[in-house]
């Protein structure tokens, strides 16, 4: 972000006095605004949000559920999105022009989404299509900017989430011989591997070096993985899995597919945040679980299952710092600004981007 952008953002920063309010006072003020607005306002919350925010969510979900909810809800005038920037952009694109999407703290980005920009993507596409011709279809994880989604939509591809990646990759490979999967190499690799594609038929595109890292026969290449990752999920390692199993051979290990291939292959299960929640909900009392995903969610699962023994796969894990930017003071501030008629943190994706990105989003939603 440039200095100019930061100066512009100063105006949109939450006034300091919000930090001095008591929790009780903030909670009461949020409650009463929600009451006054009724169905005119909705607060969706991603599973990685903190409890202080999630307690006010009208709807919680994984990325797919939140996108589906945004498309379905035609009633709310204001959608105060408790999640990160790309999710709020997706909600804006899937809702009508009359609905306003607000992100309570504009600094709530996603470092993985920032690992693919348009210039890099265009350079990559040019080189790959020069080399492989019209044999590639692009897919992007929803954890990407609206511009990248538009690029993918314009080239006949689709978005994916961790809940539906298998269906979408299968569909894509029925359309073209190869896929370019942005920006998370791990979700792409784990999904393709689960579909039976050998690692020897996958390559990595390095967007910094503008280079395809592949040693196999070009004819066999099926999956081109963008060299991006989630810095939260890369902190789970095979050492954690080995140490956990050594300490307790009965414990079951469940991880998010943003973890590396090595970690996912050693775990018992892998899946989206919804899949992790559902698996633990359906497990027997007394079972033991070690979970490899973001801390706020792991802590919430631990609290809601006192009859099971649950821990984080990495006890020294940091939470997702950008998800954590959305806190109670920011939620209250954004609601009060809406009530004053001066909303801040409004997410408006330009029309020319929306039109193409919707192509990619709708393709995904129709497949799932």
**Contacting residues toward ligand SF4, per CB under 6 A:** 84, 110-112, 143, 230-232, 258, 294, 320, 322-323
Residues with Cβ within 8 Å of residue 128, at least 6 apart in sequence:
136, 180, 205, 212, 224
What tokens appear for 229 in the block?
A: 């990752």
Classify residue 133 by burial, with Cβ atoms within 10 Å: 0-12, 13-18, 19+: exposed
Measured from the CB atom, is 147 or 294 closer to ligand 13P?
294
Q: What's the closest the beta carbon of residue 165 comes to ligand 13P, in angstroms?
A: 9
How far is residue 362's CA from residue 149's CA, in Å, rounded to a whole number? 11
Site for ligand 13P contains 143 (CB under 6 A): yes
Residue 121, interface with ligand 13P (CB under 6 A)? Answer: no
Q: Should residue 191 be labelled a site residue for ligand 13P when binding is judged by CB under 6 A?
A: no
Region near ligand 13P per CB under 6 A, out of 28-36, 57-65, 99-107, 121-129 = 57-65
Considering CB distances under 5 to 8 angstroms, the limit depending on partner class, which of ligand 13P, ligand SF4, none binds residue 272? ligand 13P
Rounded CA-CA distance 212/202 in Å is: 10
Q: Report yes or no: 224 and 205 within 8 Å, Cβ to Cβ.
A: yes
Q: Are 222 and 201 in contact (CB under 8 A)?
A: yes
Residue list 221-260, contact with ligand 13P (CB under 6 A): 258
Residue count at the site for ligand 13P (CB under 6 A)? 12
The listed partner (ligand SF4, ligand 13P, none) that binds 327, CB under 5 to 8 Å by sort, is none
CA atoms of 249 and 22, how far apart (whole Å): 45
C-alpha span between 110 and 2 (Å, rounded): 17
Instruction: Determine if 89 is a binding residue for ligand 13P (CB under 6 A).
Output: no
Closer by beta carbon to ligand 13P, 42 or else 113: 113
Q: What are phi and psi of 129, to 5 degrees?
A: -75, -30
Identify the residue among 244, 272, 296, 324 touching ligand 13P (CB under 6 A): 272
**Which parts of 15-54 interact with ligand 13P (CB under 6 A)?**
47
Tokens of 362: 């709708």
Rounded distance, CA 70 to CA 83, Å?
13
From 26, 49, 56, 62, residue interacting with ligand 13P (rule: CB under 6 A): 62
Q: Which is nearer to ligand SF4, 229 or 356 (CB)?
A: 229
């Amino acid at each position: 972000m440039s200095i100019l952008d930061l100066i512009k953002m100063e105006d949109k920063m939450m006034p300091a006095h919000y930090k001095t309010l008591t929790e009780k006072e903030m909670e009461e003020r949020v409650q009463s605004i929600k009451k006054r607005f009724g169905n005119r306002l909705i607060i969706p919350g991603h599973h990685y949000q903190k409890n202080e925010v999630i307690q006010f969510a009208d709807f919680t979900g994984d990325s797919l559920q939140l996108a589906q909810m945004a498309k379905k809800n035609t009633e709310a005038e204001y959608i105060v999105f408790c999640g990160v920037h790309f999710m709020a952009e997706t909600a804006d694109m899937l809702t009508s022009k009359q609905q306003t999407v607000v992100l309570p703290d504009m600094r709530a980005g996603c470092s993985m989404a920032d690992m693919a920009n348009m210039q890099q993507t265009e350079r990559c596409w040019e080189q790959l299509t020069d080399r492989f011709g019209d044999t590639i279809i692009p897919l992007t994880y929803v954890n990407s900017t609206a511009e990248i989604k538009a690029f993918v939509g314009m080239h006949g591809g689709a978005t994916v989430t961790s809940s539906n990646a298998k269906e979408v990759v299968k569909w894509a490979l029925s359309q073209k011989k190869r896929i370019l999967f942005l920006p998370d190499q791990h979700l792409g690799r784990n999904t393709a591997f689960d579909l039976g594609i050998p690692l020897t038929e996958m390559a990595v595109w390095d967007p910094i070096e503008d280079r395809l890292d592949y040693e196999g026969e070009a004819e066999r290449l099926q999956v081109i993985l963008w060299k991006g990752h989630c810095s939260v999920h890369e902190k789970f390692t095979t050492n954690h899995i080995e140490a956990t199993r050594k300490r307790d051979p009965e414990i079951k290990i469940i991880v998010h597919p943003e973890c590396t291939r090595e970690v996912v292959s050693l775990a018992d299960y892998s899946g989206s945040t919804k899949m992790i929640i559902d698996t633990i909900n359906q497990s027997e009392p007394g079972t033991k679980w070690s979970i490899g995903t973001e801390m706020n969610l792991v802590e919430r699962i631990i609290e809601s299952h006192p009859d099971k023994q649950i821990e984080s796969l990495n006890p020294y894990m940091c939470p997702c710092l950008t998800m954590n930017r959305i806190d109670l003071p920011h939620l209250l501030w954004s609601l009060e600004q809406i009530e004053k008629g001066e909303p801040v943190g409004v997410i408006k994706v330009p029309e020319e981007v929306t039109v193409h990105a919707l192509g990619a989003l709708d393709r995904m939603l129709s497949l799932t």
